[in-house]
Amino acid sequence: MKRSYYIAGFCLGLLGVVLGAFAAHGLKPNLSPQAMETFETGVRFQIYHAFLILILANMDSLQNRNARIILYVILTGVFLFSGSIYLLATNSITAPDFSILGPVTPLGGSLLIFCWGFLIFHSIKLKIK
């Protein structure tokens, strides 16, 4: 089971680094400073949550079912939050208009906040050994 968490965390991290490098070297000349900053926010949050998945892989106190649900919610949240940010930030250089995705970003962020809150609640409930 931990193997899938490691793979998910490492893939998310790898993709975050690739997208960050692509933005810095390929997109920078084509995007406004504000759009670059927005894109970098998506990358930063993606990498933060890659680390969270790696931490999740080592939390023996979580039941497998809860850990799996949190993993899927994190991945969905990152996809919605960072993914919509990437598309919105590059909207000026793409043919389709992605501005319709604006409401998706806070939905993804809410899922990520839920995961952090669940993990805080879970940690508070842990028995001290």
What pLDDT, in 10s, does the model give residues 73-114? 999 999 999 999 999 999 999 889 999 999 999 999 999 999
The dihedral sign for the CA sequence 11, 17, 18, 20: positive
**Structure confidence at residue 128 (pLDDT):** 66
* pLDDT tens per residue, range 19-43: 999 999 999 999 999 999 999 999 9
pLDDT band at 122 (very low <50, low <70, confident <90, very high): very high
- Amino acid in position 104: V
Tally of structural domains, the chain: 1
* Planar angle of CA 99, 47, 21, nearest 5 degrees: 75
pTM of the predicted model over 0.85: yes
- Those residues whose C-beta lies under 8 Å from the C-beta of residue 114, and which sit 6 or more positions away, are 73, 77
User: Would you say 83 and 112 are in contact if contact means Cβ atoms under 8 Å apart?
Assistant: no
pLDDT of 127:
76
Domain span including residue 99: 2-125
